[in-house]
Structure 1
């Protein structure tokens, strides 16, 4: 575990890389909305109000008329023009988290139009089966496929959006239906998603995003535990490389915490602390065959994931239960799509 003071130091390492315009960049220098929002959430936990406000102002300036954000921006200039659905959906998680942490009703109300535009963009890219394609390209064309990790994060965003809508007295039932349909596809239709199974995120994200809970979630995590978890170090980013990464490890911590598996969550969080730098920042990863940090960088998103995991385990803020409490009670009837509920994950399990 790390202390409240250590959390603040880590948040200050994120604030130190924030650009003058409010964007929080990757080490390579570009900003994307998803990682930017995660960094704002982490700084909110630590009480760094001013950089958080500048960060949300950055999002408001760069949101496009259709509700999306450019995939990448450098110095405020879009360099990749496609609009990722998981980037857009995460604004709802960020604003709901900010509301939980700060109780700032005025800010929540002012941010609501930004959230509505973003989630309507996302819901508009849901297929008839229920998955949500990963982007609309620079020419406005929807992608031909969906990503499991991205859709799991979108599920979280939609659930947070529903909670915001209820809080503000502006119900958005189409978001709830979209979340229910998406949860069904995530649990029952693995064929709906491009195969990215070598990435650990595709393994645990359905749990992290709230679509899978209970016994099914424990079975899902058990299935690839030995593939991705490296005792004493954290979890692999990809199954075929001797490389553990801090952000993925902390996201798995959050998923375990959401299931009430505190023992393994605490152990994994302790395991990844070898990535902590003396200034409170975190190395992105560790190549344990060569015994070198890889890539040779300390990233804001790794620091952010660490803070969110620390908060979940220690309850530093009123947003500590964000991932734990977001699972919805689906009213979706699986017979609508002509399948039996949960057959997809079960079939996948039998195939391993």
Structure 2
């Protein structure tokens, strides 16, 4: 386990890469809304209020009229114009998380119109059977398929949006209905999603996003545990490569913590600390056959996942239970148990 001081150092490593306009970029230089929000959440854990405020101002400036953000921006200029549904949705998780930590209702109210536009954009992409397609392209055309990982994250975002709406006395019942329909698809309709089962995220994200919990969640994680977990190192990004990644490992830590499996959560968190750099940042991954960092970079999103996992395990802030306390989906008679994919 790392100390609270080390958590703060890691959050500061994210602040150090934040651009002057407030964007938090990938190592290659682009910003996307999902990873940007995750980095703001980590800095919120550390109390880096000014950095967080600049980050939300960045989101407000770059949100489009339809509620989405460009898929990629470089130095504030869009370079990929499609709008991903899970990118738009995650702002609800970020604003709810920041409210849990700060208690600043006035700040949440200022950000609320941005959240409403974003989640309405997302819900508009839901199909009749419940899944939410992954994007609208640059011409406004909805994609023809959905992604399991993205939809699992969207489920968390919709639940967070409902909680935020209730706290701000502006209920959005259509979001809750959309979340229930999405949860049903995630639990029971594996064919509704494109096959990305070689990626570890498609394995644990239904648990992380709150659609699958309890004994079913434990069964789901146990089914592919030996496929993805590399003892002493972390978890693979993809099943067919000798490559462990820090962000995915920490997200699995959060999923395990949400299920009450603290023993495995703490062990995995300890295992991935070999990726820590002396300045508090984290290498993205480790290719354990060649024994080299791959890619040769330290990423803000990896540091952010570490901070969020540390908060969950150490209870550093009132936002520590963000993933643990996702409201459960409505249970409907006749639904079959979830079938893990892969």
Matched, 1:313 2:313: yes
Structure 1 vs Structure 2 CA RMSD: 1.0
* C-alpha separation in 2, matches of 1:267 and 1:156: 25
1:330 Cα deviation (Å)? 1.1
Q: Work out whether residues 135 and 142 of structure 1, in 8 Å CA contact, stay in contact via their aligned partners in 2.
A: yes
> Normalising by structure 1, what TM-score?
0.96
Matches within 5 A, 1:290-329: 290-329=290-329
Matched residue, 1:341: 335
* Partner SS for 1:126: coil
Matched, 1:262 2:262: yes
* C-alpha separation in 2, matches of 1:36 and 1:13: 14
Matched residue, 2:159: 159
Matched residue, 1:120: 120
* C-alpha separation in 2, matches of 1:162 and 1:3: 33
* C-alpha separation in 2, matches of 1:93 and 1:171: 16
Matched, 1:172 2:187: no
1:290 Cα deviation (Å)? 0.3
Matched residue, 2:111: 111
Q: Work out whether residues 146 and 192 of structure 1, in 8 Å CA contact, stay in contact via their aligned partners in 2.
A: yes
* C-alpha separation in 1, matches of 2:296 and 2:189: 38
Matched residue, 1:54: 54
* C-alpha separation in 2, matches of 1:330 and 1:87: 25
* Partner SS for 2:53: helix
* C-alpha separation in 1, matches of 2:8 and 2:50: 14
1:341 Cα deviation (Å)? 1.0
What is the aligned length?
A: 342
Q: Work out whether residues 101 and 318 of structure 1, in 8 Å CA contact, stay in contact via their aligned partners in 2.
A: yes
Matched, 1:83 2:77: no
> Normalising by structure 2, what TM-score?
0.99
Matched residue, 1:221: 221
Q: Work out whether residues 83 and 137 of structure 2, in 8 Å CA contact, stay in contact via their aligned partners in 1.
A: yes
Runs of 4+ in 1 over 4 A off after TM superposition: none
* C-alpha separation in 2, matches of 1:100 and 1:123: 24
Unaligned runs of 5+ in 2: none
Describe the superposition over 1:142-189 as per-residue Cα deviations: whole angstroms up to 9, x where unpaired. Answer: 000000000000000000000001101111000000000000000000
Matched residue, 2:131: 131
* C-alpha separation in 2, matches of 1:157 and 1:68: 14
Matched residue, 1:337: none
* Partner SS for 1:244: strand
1:116 Cα deviation (Å)? 0.3
1:4 Cα deviation (Å)? 1.0
Matched residue, 1:238: 238
* C-alpha separation in 2, matches of 1:46 and 1:172: 31
* C-alpha separation in 1, matches of 2:328 and 2:288: 39
Unaligned runs of 5+ in 1: 335-339
